[in-house]
Amino acid sequence: MSEKSPGTPLPENAADDRDPSRDNAPAPPVDRRGFLSHAAAATGAGLLAACGSDRSEDLEGAPAVRTGQRVTWRCASSFPRGLDAIYGSAEKLGEITSALTGGRFRIRAYPAGELVPALQVMDAVQQGTVQVGHSTSYYYTGKNQALAFDTGIPFGMTARQQDAWLSEGGGLDVVRGVFADFGIVTFPAGNTGAQMGGWFRREVNSPEDLRGLKMRIPGLGGAVMDRLGVTVQILAGGDIYPALERGAIDATEWVGPYDDEKLGLHRAARYYYYPGWWEPSASSSFEVNRAAWDSLSADYKAVFGVAAQAAARRMLHTYDARNPPALQRLVAGGTQLRPFSDEIMSLARTTIDEILEEHAAADAEYRRVYEHWRNFREASFRWFGTAELRYAGFAFEP
């Protein structure tokens, strides 16, 4: 395990707002597979029906969990408030937990920088300065390289495949084993779906065009670009546009049309490349401090799990609904769409395969996570490559 980074203390005026009267008795360990059935037993079928909706107003008639606990948690997000699709998952988590408990279990979301810097959220959760973090795990591969699998891998799985691996394929248990070393229990918080390849101030038609480029790109995508000669930088979402606009970086990736338009990236770079081969999907996470988790009643644990699932579903649906019109607006405004060349794609795929094998050879824990992920991916690709690929190749317009 990599050395743990120190936590980030909260500002003096951000005092702990938990109710001291709450019951802090330890609860049984989390049931990693049975949140929905557990919630049904605790609160009745109405809870599940309510949490199946993305709209908070549909929860008003839901039965509330009454355990006697009054709990208020803080959730520090890595994302700015203005990016409502991704930051909205943290807000939705709090809305649902409050609605299902009659306001007795509250989770207040804070955008990046308000409590802790965007890229130090996991540190804050690890040290217990916040109870929940909302982030993407590949920001923290300096702690353990295997954390990248919780988010997504270059030339990895689509959103449906990644969600299936985590929720039904045993992947969540595997990545939770990595997070356990840091005193954290993790829950999927939503997926972006397939991402775009990012914004470039000049065209990149071959691998030679990438050399010397300064690009904001985190995770294993950044590791691949580094080997292809790119100078890689990691910047939080709110810092990207200023860096691109003033030429501190030549290119950047973020998510896709809806978010990229909000960040104004089209005003600083003309060429918009696709696909985002480094993130065919990207799963965000709710990271919960283990001690805080253990202090919850079994009912509240079930409520949190169901709320996290509902928030995660909403995020992907939001992107899938809002990316198409956003892309149309960008193109109408002068954005130049460009596909990455097959030469760049092939070299990048060969490079990520080499990186994954190197990490697996050097670390037994990494190899265990990698092999589990790889086996699921291979089976999933065979299935999706049969029915879905044939349909998409015929029916989708370019």
First and final C-alpha spacing in the chain: 45
pLDDT at 100 > cutoff 80: yes
**At CA 322, angle to CA 317 and CA 327, rounded to 5?**
135
Higher pLDDT, 398 or 367: 367
Residues in the chain, overall count = 398
Out of 47-61, 82-96, 240-254, pick the least confident: 47-61
pLDDT band at 236 (very low <50, low <70, confident <90, very high): confident
pLDDT score recorded for residue 238 = 86
* pLDDT computed for residue 136 by the predictor: 96
More confident residue, 24 or 363: 363
Q: Is 287 helix (H, G, I), strand (E, B) or coil?
A: strand
- Per cent of the chain over pLDDT 90 is 80
Q: Distance between CA 85 and CA 255 in Å, rounded? A: 11
Quote the pLDDT of residue 30. 41
Amino acid in position 266: H
- CA pair distance 231, 245, nearest whole angstrom: 17
Mean pLDDT of 276-302: 97
> With 60 as the cut, is the pLDDT of residue 1 above it?
no
Residue 19: pLDDT band by 50, 70, 90 thresholds? very low
pLDDT in the model for residue 97:
98
Residues paired with 199 in a beta bridge:
252, 272
Tens of pLDDT, residue by residue over 133-187, are: 999 999 999 999 999 999 999 999 999 999 999 999 999 999 999 999 999 999 9
Which of these, 48, 316, 281, 309, lies nearest to 156 by C-alpha position? 281
Kindly report, residue by residue over 250-271, the tens digit of the pLDDT: 999 999 999 999 999 999 999 9
- Choose the weakest-confidence range: 10-19, 240-249, 331-340: 10-19
Strand pairing report for 214-216 and 251-252: parallel
pLDDT grade, residue 378 (50/70/90)? very high
Q: Are 53 and 317 in contact (CB under 8 A)?
A: no
- pLDDT of amino acid 28: 39
The reported pLDDT for the residue numbered 69 is 82
CB contact at 8 A, 348 and 154: yes
One-letter amino acid identity for 199? Answer: W
Q: Mean pLDDT of all residues in the chain?
A: 87
Q: Extract the tokens encoding 186.
A: 């993790």
Pairing state between β 198-200 and 105-110: unpaired
Residue 237 pLDDT: 86
Is the link from the previous residue into 117 a cis peptide, with omega within 30 of 0? no
Q: How far is CA 3 from the centre of its chain?
A: 23
Q: Give the Cα separation of 398 and 80 in Å (integer).
A: 32
Res 14 pLDDT > 60: no
| Count of CB atoms situated within 10 Å of the CB of 34 | 13
pLDDT for residue 398 is more than 80: no
Lowest mean pLDDT among 43-47, 273-277, 338-342: 43-47
